[in-house]
Amino acid sequence: MIYGERIRLRRNERADLPRFVEWLNDPEVRRYLSGGLPISQASEENWFENMLKRPPEEQPYAIEIRDGEGWRLVGNCGFFDIDWRARSSEVGLFIGDKSCWNKGYGTEVMRLLLKFGFESLNLNRIFLRVDADNLGGIRAYEKAGFVHEGRFRQAVFRDGEYHDILIMSVLRSEWQAS
């Protein structure tokens, strides 16, 4: 497990899937996620089985927060499409438990992922894509050290309109200097 001050990251378990289905069927939670369509328990189980076939470095983590003496599942995060030659990876997260929005958990998750990515996976560049309208997400990523790198204009269609996607990244040298 990977521990932060208020959170921990652990491997996803089959028992987590009903919560993921619940969250991913909430239009507010799903708003800025790729895909954007409701999902079934069966499709989430299929995702889980396929996820287990991926390299360990690309298997996502469950995000948990301290809850009394225990831990409570609040979201999901991880690295994907790692390019080992360029030492680069995309990273992503979602906080499905809306009671945990705007409390700094996204920033803390990203800081933990950066530390793990640079120190344990030996990455040089970690990047993400974020909807230009997702102001809370952008703020969290900036606080974690991500800088704006580019823009995909009108890259997604949502709610009857096209929206831009921002590319943000952190280089190992920037992370080490912070």
Fold of 2-128: Aminopeptidase (3.40.630)
- Domains in the chain: boundaries: 2-128
- Region 16-45 average pLDDT: 88
pLDDT at 64 (0 to 100): 97
Sheet containing strand 2-3, strands side by side:
2-3, 7-11, 61-67, 70-83, 88-95, 125-131, 161-171, 147-158
pLDDT, tens digit, 9 for 90 and up, residues 91-140: 999 999 999 999 999 999 999 999 999 999 999 999 999 999 999 999 99
Q: Which pLDDT band holds residue 38 (cuts at 50, 70, 90)?
A: confident
Query: How confident is the model at residue 8, as a pLDDT?
Result: 96
Does the pLDDT value for residue 36 go beyond 90? no
